[in-house]
Amino acid sequence: MSDAYDYEQLVRDFCQAWADADFDRVVEFFTEDGVYHNIPVDPMVGHEAIRMMIDGFTAGLRILEFRIDTMLSNGPTVITERVDIFEKPDGGQVSLPVMGIFEFEGDRIAKWREYFDLNQFMTQAMPAE
């Protein structure tokens, strides 16, 4: 590899930090002014905002796996096709197909964009009435 970093491995490590629920480590993967943009909602900029987004997004859910099905990279840009799998308090699961694009500066994520269907997530995550 001609780059100084193995960006695909950094993404694998990042996804594992999510699965480990090590959210402090997840935030540390970002540059200080890093951007986390779940495309259906406004982007979060900086460590504090990113942590708030993570806490809100995972409230009541336990992450089981960020399963990477396809990964492509071009230098410091990595694209993943994933299924993010969460466990609900009732033991049910939420499976969310996601396309993620990571842009690195050095060994830190400068921009992370996630494309998914928010309605699909909310329909699965909300308790049945």
- The count of C-alpha atoms lying within 13 angstroms of the C-alpha of 51, restricted to the half-sphere facing its C-beta, is 11
The confidence band for 1, taking pLDDT boundaries of 50, 70 and 90, is very low
Is 127 a residue whose pLDDT tops 80? Answer: no
The CATH number of domain 7-123, selected from 3.10.450.50, 2.60.120.380, 3.20.20.70, 3.40.50.10190: 3.10.450.50
Of 15, 5, 22, the C-alpha closest to 112 is 15
16 to 25, 87, 120: CA distances (angstroms): 10, 16, 23
> What digits encode the pLDDT tens for the residues 41-98?
899 999 999 999 999 888 888 899 999 999 999 999 999 999 999 998 888 899 999 9
Is 2 a residue whose pLDDT tops 60? Answer: no
pLDDT at 61: 86
The C-alpha atoms of residue 129 and residue 50 are separated, in whole angstroms, by: 31
